[in-house]
Chain A
Amino acid sequence: MYFDETHEAFRASVRRFVDREINPHMDAWEKEGAPLHDLFGKMGELGFLGIRYDPRYGGQGLDYWYETVFIEELGHVHGWGVPTAIMVQTNMATPAIDMFGTESLKEQYLAPAIAGKLVAAIAVTEPGAGSDVAALKTRAVRDGDAYVLNGSKTFITNGCQADFLTLLARTGDGPGHHCYGLFVVPTDLPGFSVSKRLDKVGLRSSDTAELFFDNLRIPVQNLIGKEGEGFIYQMMQFQHERFTVLPMTYTACRDIIDMTVAYIRERIVFGKPLITKQVLRHRLVEWLAEIESLRHLTYHIVRMKMAGRDVTKEISMGKLLAGPLLNRVSSGCLQMFGGMGFMNETLISRHFRDTRVMSIAGGADEVMKDIIARQEGF
């Protein structure tokens, strides 16, 4: 109903890529981290990194439905680290350049990001500014033909491998939200350093870093849009980021359930396959109902986006449903594997380890609730 043959052909090509170029490496990448230049290079060649972007910069010029297909298929990856790294490249660090960047920024950064030649990261969070983005302290002070950047960013995905950061910094002290700038910061400039690689419990295949800026001179041309508007741009960019959690979640949840059903069909307990136990069947079915409603909320959001409508509230609602659903499904299915679920390096235990963070990253559940309440005028 939503997808035609061209969508399905595209879906098949993404799926093939996931099955051939990603999943066979996941066990190794969980240990060593995914080599992003290599991976993105291959994806760039296939046109996966610029689905919605302008063909002038190497994009495919396709619509949100194609993007949705792409993200749905990434939900089949065996672990959340790699899809997260990819989503940073396509939906978290580049949408603002696409929407508000100058021609030259697009040529210099967006085009090579689409081609998979440059790895991007989004640098917003700081040790003292997570949910409360406005509290950030990293400062960019205009000095001639440059902004001088000082401060630090933490929990930055792709931070160790990135060639450039899309970075939000304070440019003034005024109250309100009009005193931030969004910049493209190349990581080969003097004054940039990765102060540490953060060793996380989950998403082990993705690298996460703490970054430090010491009098780093960002060329003025690298300002995205207008100087005081960075915060607003970032809030718009967040909508692209948060959306990604939705298709990923319902696809991955369905995979987790399918894998669990395959197991409990074969597992004979008390003389019968476990799947015959009503408590287990009913639990699975409840999740399927929730997965299906999340899928259709997502499709509704895509239709709204296609119609140019504001989807802030609906995306926040979707993310609020997705995080906890993912947790319920991954932990509930793990329970159905019995002792097997407690082994390290089984797929179900990896899902469980990776998914807790989805209720935190990209805006915590409580932050989603705040946004929805505000939108409702409470």
Chain B
Amino acid sequence: MNFAFSEEEIRFRSEVDTFVRRELPPDWDERSFYWPAAYGAIAVFEEEHQAFCRAFLRQLGARGWLSLGWPEACGGGGSMMKQAIADDVISYYRAPSGNIATVIGGPTIIFVGSEEMKREFLPPIARGEINFWLGYSEPNAGSDLASLKTTAVSDGDDFIVNGQKIWSSGAHVSDYAWLLARTDPAAGGHRGATLLLVDNNLPGVTIRPIENIVGFHSFNEVFFDDVRVPKRFMVGGLNKGFYNVMVALQFERLVVGIGAFRRILDELVGYVKERYGRKKDRVKNTLARNALASIAIDIEVLYGLYWQNVWMMEQGRVPELEASAMKLFSTELSRKLAGVAVDVLGLPAQLDRGSLYAPLQGRVMAGYLDAVSGPIGAGTSEIQRGIIATRGLGLPRA
């Protein structure tokens, strides 16, 4: 076992760091409210950041940094480790290190997609030219995804799609739905569904915004009304949708924006050093010291899980329980971090973003609200614990 990074990895980290510092707009800190392991304020989902995000991702793509972890045979860099390092550095600056197509779509297509699909989609994904949104959840199918009702009915060379999706993050700013729909209504439960890529611009697709608790437009509800989708846009096999989504979910659960945890910690430490040095603030300092020390330990633990997952993928394995554990731990840590941050900043933390007097650009209360999304999205905490208990520990089902 070796916990050290190689010289090449260290060099690469500093290369990415230099690049990001150079490319980010000077006011990025005032504009990006990304909170680690949360889903409500991710720049790539926001309209106002589209021009920047698209250009930034293309630059990452041009360097091969969006597909570092893909096998070389698929045009990738063949090093999960390097991808993980790049993600760590880029997320520290709350900038996008990829999008749904690069971190979930691409890797899943490599695993389960046809050769034709790989040829058609992998290159533009790796270049950062296209993006997907995840079309799983429906009004009556969330944790219980098998209850989904959206249908894709075979009609010659096409499927005809009808139904509704909800909580669709970034649907309004991406190009294709990564859509799970029922293709065999007779088969119940986890059979009879298929994963499809559906172009947002096809007739019959309607996207309506939903404002989230932070006040941002990150997610949507999307309606499909007789949308005709050519069968070559099927991802993986017919009626293998649930299996394919399980693979995709493992990749999704690996996305934690880990660097952003370190960033907030650094900012809080800076704040306390600057503000609470005076004798009269001794009490506040004591509280902050204890809370921040505890957060620092948790972040180290999270990095342990992170590198473990990366190492497994480097071995060609898809982490399952390990991904669930990291998802659960990181999202709950995200909430804990937000609670501590609110306490440490005290009263001024309550001021809204945009207020001149709000410390840390008002990102702490925004993050406090945003952080509740982590334990809900991508499989709730209750569901993750269930997975770990059932599949990890072999406990009987509840």
Seen from chain A, the residues whose Cβ lies within 8 Å of a Cβ on chain B are: 125, 130, 132, 135, 155, 198-202, 268-271, 277-280, 331, 334-335, 338-339, 341-345, 349, 352-353, 356-357, 360, 364, 366
Asked whether A338 and B142 contact (CB < 8 A) given A279-B382, A352-B213, the answer is yes
- Interface segment, B235-243, B318-326, B347-355? B347-355
Q: How many A-B residue pairs have CB under 8 A?
A: 99
Cα A357 to Cα B365 in complex, Å, equals 11
Q: Is the CB of A349 within 8 A of B375?
A: no
Chain A residues lying within 8 Å of B366, measured Cβ to Cβ, are: 201
A277, A278, A334: the one within 8 Å of B372 (CB): A334
Q: Is the CB of B376 within 8 A of A341?
A: yes
Which residue, B287, B342, B372, has most C-beta atoms of chain A within 10 A?
B372
B300 interface residue (CB < 8 Å to A): no
B368 interface residue (CB < 8 Å to A): yes
Q: Is the CB of A338 within 8 A of B380?
A: yes
Q: Is the CB of A201 within 8 A of B351?
A: yes
B167, B211, B214, B398: the one within 8 Å of A339 (CB): B167
A125, A278, A343: the one within 8 Å of B398 (CB): A278
B212, B347, B362, B377: the one within 8 Å of A343 (CB): B212
A269, A335, A357: the one within 8 Å of B376 (CB): A335
Q: For residue A354, give the distance in angstroms from its CB to the closest CB of chain B.
A: 11
Report the nearest A residue to B338, measured CB to CB: A356
A199, A268, A277, A334: the one within 8 Å of B355 (CB): A199
Cα A364 to Cα B355 in complex, Å, equals 23
Cα A334 to Cα B167 in complex, Å, equals 15
B346, B352, B380: the one within 8 Å of A130 (CB): B346
We find that the number of chain B residues with CB closer than 8 angstroms to chain A is 43
Q: Is the CB of B280 within 8 A of A356?
A: no
Chain B residues lying within 8 Å of A270, measured Cβ to Cβ, are: 143-144
Chain A residues lying within 8 Å of B36, measured Cβ to Cβ, are: none
Chain B residues lying within 8 Å of A334, measured Cβ to Cβ, are: 372
Chain B residues lying within 8 Å of A344, measured Cβ to Cβ, are: 211-215
Q: Is the CB of A199 within 8 A of B351?
A: yes
Asked whether A268 and B373 contact (CB < 8 A) given A201-B350, A356-B368, the answer is no
Q: Is the CB of B347 within 8 A of A342?
A: no
Asked whether A339 and B376 contact (CB < 8 A) given A132-B280, A268-B140, the answer is yes
Q: Is the CB of B143 within 8 A of A338?
A: yes
Cα A360 to Cα B376 in complex, Å, equals 27
B151 interface residue (CB < 8 Å to A): no
Q: Is the CB of B346 within 8 A of A342?
A: no
B137 interface residue (CB < 8 Å to A): yes
Chain B residues lying within 8 Å of A202, measured Cβ to Cβ, are: 350, 365
Asked whether A339 and B372 contact (CB < 8 A) given A270-B144, A344-B213, A345-B211, the answer is no
Within 8 A of A (CB), among B349-398: 350-352, 354-355, 357, 362, 365-366, 368-369, 372-373, 375-377, 380-382, 398
Q: For residue A27, give the distance in angstroms from its CB to the closest CB of chain B.
A: 13
Chain A residues lying within 8 Å of B73, measured Cβ to Cβ, are: none
Q: For residue B383, give the distance in angstroms from its CB to the closest CB of chain A.
A: 10
Q: Is the CB of B351 within 8 A of A198?
A: yes
Chain B residues lying within 8 Å of A130, measured Cβ to Cβ, are: 346-347
B283 interface residue (CB < 8 Å to A): yes
B347, B354, B375: the one within 8 Å of A155 (CB): B347
